[in-house]
């Protein structure tokens, strides 16, 4: 969580009291109501991980921008204040509800492999063995063609009210004037110090004097401000094939390795094969969203290459075969964990960039869910990994197929949720993959490149079956990002999403179960301790979950591995008479920031 060092002119509050509130707590600008991680009110709402970004989004809404304008402005600001989780060097998935038409649309801005990439890109030709993850990550090989700027441009042309240049301005101002470094930022730099030290521009920006920036110090990024200004003047062609693009390609093909790194690195830093032609060929896709109905709610999410929509949807379909609201907490959570494992087994076996849409839709049918639900034993946790099902339309009771596991490394993303006064809604998850991406700041441009291509499986994980997530030319790696919009009677009920790599799926799923089935309020649903079962031998869970419901779940055969935090969700619930409830994390990632344009009652 980062607090702005100075109020930029674009965000100047209308009164001294508003200025004091903004500088003291990072809350929204004048005319806006914000109260830390939870806020309720009218006229639009924003929830993100960062108070500076949330304030920017609220000001866009206050000045007449719509949800898409605010989402782009928030995302651009997060590229400044949360540069290790997202930025224009990465990609993401954008889900939009249009109030006028009542339609949900999606944009696939996922990073794309260069045309030169082969299925053995992450196999060492000298040994025939896959690279260690950090060897693959901190390299040019891992960088996919970024999709974030193209996503912003596409969204604004389709649905926005303001230009890309206008929506980039506040983020450029924050980058130029600087922000105050908090503990989370400093820790993320420290954790990446060895990788960042290998590259001259990265070390210069994030390791001043050879050390992580001190908590409370000011970090300015004039290069990123200049990059935003350049794109504002010349459009995204400056990035996709222009002078910024040429610098990206140079950094990928010839990583800017420091002559004498301050810290050692045990791996060779390998070049990648991205070309200017790859950048020029990038296109934002517009797939139909995934859709299923859960207890009367219409749940919309992302299709491939994201596995988020299909895996969340399949797990919900499986859970619909149990009346969770009438079960005790142990049984409800037991079935949540078992449904998650079954859905992940099918995700790992069938879902990748080239999954045929009929197969993806088959995973979301009620008949297939019934076939999978019969695998759940109320008295015993299944031995993991469970086998995938057979989505062939025949729905043979409890049928299974052969298949293996998936390899998922730790990842980070960021998520934001926006609604405007007209009823439009944006749920947007964006990323550069690992915290710190591939470690390479593009010289003179101020942003990190992604390591998204390490989301491919390095070798076949499915035994004798085909692996849908091997690298390939022009292919997009499978994602777990799950931006989700839920409608009730055709109108928004809930929008939510989270960062967290493959734990995104279970974070979104658990929040939905908490809110819809277990009677929690939205703030309670976000705050509740989390556990994630991704078809692994042990359930990864937060300590409070293990100490609480984990005890009784252990008696059913579940075993646990602790993780300090799982996810960092944002959400908005749509209440009667136009009131909005915006929520972010109360504790995780140093707390999030939520606000509404107008507070109080009407």
Q: Which residues are catalytic?
A: 413
Alpha carbon distance 111, 284 (integer Å): 10
Alpha carbon distance 425, 94 (integer Å): 11
Q: Output b/e per residue, 299-311; b: 16+ Cβ within 10 A.
A: bbbbbbbbbbbbb
Going 78 to 112 to 433 to 527, the CA torsion angle's sign is positive
Please confirm whether the linkage preceding 161 is cis (ω < 30° from 0): no
DSSP string, 423-446: S-EEEEEEEEESTTTTS-BPTTT-
DSSP 289: P
- Nearest partner of 145 among 472, 468, 452, 480, judged by Cα: 452
Neighbours of 17 (CB within 10 A): 10
Compute and round to an integer the Cα radius of gyration of the chain: 23
* Range list of H helices, 218-307: 222-234, 243-253, 276-280
DSSP 164: H
Please name the helix (run of DSSP H) or strand (run of DSSP E) that holds residue 42, with its range, or none.
strand 38-48
Alpha carbon distance 188, 523 (integer Å): 27
Spell out the residues 6+ positions from residue 412 whose beta carbon is closer than 8 angstroms to its own.
84, 85, 431, 433, 434, 435, 499, 500, 501
91 by DSSP, 3-state: which? strand
- Nearest partner of 593 among 27, 70, 86, judged by Cα: 27
DSSP string, 476-537: ---B----EEEEETTEEEEEEE--STTHHHHHHHHHHIIIIIS---HHHHHHS--EE-SS-S
Please confirm whether the linkage preceding 351 is cis (ω < 30° from 0): no
DSSP 351: -
Give Cα 42 to chain centroid, integer Å. Answer: 26
132 by DSSP, 3-state: which? coil
Alpha carbon distance 239, 233 (integer Å): 12
Please name the helix (run of DSSP H) or strand (run of DSSP E) that holds residue 287, with its range, or none.
none
Please confirm whether the linkage preceding 385 is cis (ω < 30° from 0): yes
For residue 528, give Cα distances in angstroms to 275, 326, 554, 565.
46, 19, 19, 11
- Nearest partner of 384 among 534, 535, 554, 550, judged by Cα: 535
As a whole number of Å, the end-to-end CA separation of the chain is: 31
For the purposes of burial, counting CB atoms within 10 Å of the CB of 443, is it exposed (0-12), middle (13-18) or buried (19 or more)?
A: middle
């Amino acid at each position: 969580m980062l607090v702005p060092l100075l109020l930029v002119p674009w965000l100047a509050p209308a009164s001294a009291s508003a200025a004091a509130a903004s500088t003291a707590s990072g809350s929204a600008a004048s005319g806006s109501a914000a109260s830390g991680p939870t806020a309720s009110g009218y006229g639009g709402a924003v929830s993100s991980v960062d108070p500076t970004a949330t304030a920017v989004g609220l000001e866009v809404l206050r000045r007449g921008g719509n949800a898409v304008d605010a989402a782009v402005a928030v995302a651009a600001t997060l590229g400044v204040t949360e540069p290790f989780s997202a930025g224009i060097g990465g990609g993401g998935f954008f889900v939009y509800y249009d109030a006028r038409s009542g339609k949900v649309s999606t944009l696939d801005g996922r990073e794309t492999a260069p045309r030169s990439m082969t299925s053995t890109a992450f196999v060492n030709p000298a040994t025939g063995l896959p690279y260690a993850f950090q060897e693959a990550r901190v390299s040019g090989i891992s960088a996919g063609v970024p999709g974030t700027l193209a996503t912003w441009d596409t969204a604004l042309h389709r649905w926005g009210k303001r230009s890309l240049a206008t929506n980039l301005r506040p983020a450029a101002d924050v980058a130029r004037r600087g922000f105050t470094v908090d503990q989370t930022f400093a820790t993320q730099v420290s954790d990446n110090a060895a990788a960042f030290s290998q590259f001259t521009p990265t070390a210069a920006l994030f390791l001043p004097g050879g050390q992580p920036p001190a908590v409370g110090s000011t970090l300015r990024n004039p290069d990123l401000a200049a990059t935003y200004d350049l794109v504002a003047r010349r459009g995204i062609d400056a990035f996709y094939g222009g002078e910024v693009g040429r610098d990206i390609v140079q950094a990928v093909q010839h990583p800017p390795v420091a002559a004498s790194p301050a810290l050692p690195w045990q791996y060779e830093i390998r070049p990648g094969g991205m070309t200017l032609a790859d950048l020029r060929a990038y296109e934002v896709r517009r797939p139909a969203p995934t859709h299923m109905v859960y207890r009367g709610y219409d749940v919309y999410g992302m299709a491939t290459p994201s596995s988020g929509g299909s895996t969340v949807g399949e797990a919900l379909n499986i859970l619909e075969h149990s009346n969770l609201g009438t079960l005790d907490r142990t049984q409800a959570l037991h079935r949540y964990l078992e449904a998650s494992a079954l859905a992940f087994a099918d995700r790992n076996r069938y879902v990748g960039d080239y999954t045929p849409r009929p197969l993806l839709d088959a995973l979301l049918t009620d008949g297939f869910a019934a076939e999978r639900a019969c695998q759940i034993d109320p008295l015993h946790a299944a031995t993991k990994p469970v086998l995938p099902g057979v989505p062939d339309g025949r729905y043979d009771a409890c049928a299974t197929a052969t298949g293996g596991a998936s390899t998922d490394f730790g990842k980070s993303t960021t998520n934001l949720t926006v609604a405007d006064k007209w009823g439009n809604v944006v749920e947007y998850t964006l990323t550069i993959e690992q915290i710190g991406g591939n470690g390479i700041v593009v010289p003179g441009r101020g942003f990190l490149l992604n390591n998204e291509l390490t989301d491919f499986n390095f070798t076949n994980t499915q035994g004798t079956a085909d692996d849908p997530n091997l690298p390939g030319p022009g292919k997009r790696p499978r994602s777990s990002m799950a931006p989700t919009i839920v409608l009730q009677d055709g109108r928004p009920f809930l929008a939510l999403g989270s960062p967290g790599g493959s734990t995104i799926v279970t974070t979104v799923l658990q929040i939905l179960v908490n809110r819809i089935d277990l009677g929690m309020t939205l703030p309670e649903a976000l705050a509740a301790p989390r556990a994630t079962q991704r078809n692994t031998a042990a359930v990864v869970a937060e300590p409070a979950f293990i100490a609480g419901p984990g005890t009784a779940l252990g008696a059913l055969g579940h075993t646990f591995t602790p993780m300090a935090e799982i996810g960092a969700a944002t959400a908005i619930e749509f209440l009667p008479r136009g009131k909005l409830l915006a929520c972010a994390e109360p504790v995780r990632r140093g707390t999030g920031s939520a606000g509404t344009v107008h507070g109080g009652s009407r």
